Amino acid sequence: MALTLTYHSLKWRISFSNDNIILNYPLRSPSSTNIHPNARWQQNGITVAGGNRQGNGINQLSEPLGFYVDDDQTVYVADQSNHRIVEWKWGATSGQVVAGGNGQGSGAHQLYDPTDVIVDKERDSLIICDRSNGRVVRWPRRNGTSRETIISNIDCWGLTMDENGSLYVTDIGNNQVRRYRRGESQGTVVAGGNGSGNRLDQLSSPHYVFVDRDHSVYVSDRGNHRVMKWVEGAKQGIVVAGGQEQGNGLT
């Protein structure tokens, strides 16, 4: 199975070619807030990470999931099955391991099935969903060899950060999104948190999350086949995409 990351003019795509699966994820960098509502993507992308079959070489990926694009187009990939975060510079033919890569485990120098990664520019560090260890960790971006646990006992999958430095994390086990302001250890539920279900105040296996300038939260509500928008302070969300059960129709 070949695994490829491609760039499609402000949109990134992960392709699992042998299984005929294409997963699209949002570009999470400052430029993403300025995409014109009528923007159109190029139809043919270029490979920017992986694309050399599945494996653990520095030019390979194995079941990559979330990723982050920095201002200089450097891509940080949560290389899940290799239990590492890999940095791919623009135009590079191979990556560099910047976190983990020491086998699966719970040690200070290890990750276990990382599912998402973002960059905290203020502290020049990576923040990683270390999912199978049930934690969110901070890892120095430059010459880091070990991590700091910043959130424990959470079934995390996706995360993002707003302009104030607040961290938003999806918690699959509790079907909710929590916001952690700087210095907080418990956080506040900002979406879901009312059990698994398809009501407007519920989520089912939420995966990835995005927060806009108004602090509205957008959640990929995987189990309900929909994307939800939760305005700051709201008790329930609004379906903004999907919500018509599983299928390949355009509605």
pLDDT digits (tens, 9 = 90+) for 14-29: 444 444 333 444 445 4
pLDDT the model gives residue 247: 87
Domain residue limits, the chain: 56-242
Quickly tell me which residue has 């086990």 as its tokens: 173
What pLDDT score was predicted for residue 33? 53
The per-residue pLDDT for 25 is 44
> In this predicted structure, what is the pLDDT of residue 8?
45
The residue with greater pLDDT, 118 or 146, is 118
Average predicted confidence (pLDDT) for the chain = 86
Higher-pLDDT residue of 120, 10: 120
**pLDDT interval class at 9 (50, 70, 90):** very low
| pLDDT tens-digit series, residues 216-235 | 999 999 999 999 999 999 99
The stretch 180-198 carries a mean pLDDT of 94
pTM of the model: 0.85
Q: Is the pLDDT of residue 4 over 80?
A: no
pLDDT at residue 28, rounded to an integer: 56
Which CATH number describes the domain made up of 56-242? 2.120.10.30
Angstrom distances, CA of residue 222 to CA of 27, 48, 72, 203, 236: 19, 27, 31, 8, 17
* Cβ density class 23-44: b for 16+ within 10 Å, e for less: eebbbbbeeeeeeeeeeeeeee
d(CA 60, CA 47): 12
Read off the pLDDT of each residue in 193-206 and give the average, rounded to a whole number.
97
Rg (CA), the chain: 17
> Residue 64: CA atoms inside 13 Å, Cβ hemisphere, count?
38
Of 1-5, 61-65, 75-79, 114-118, which gets the smallest average pLDDT? 1-5
**pLDDT score of 48 more than 60:** yes
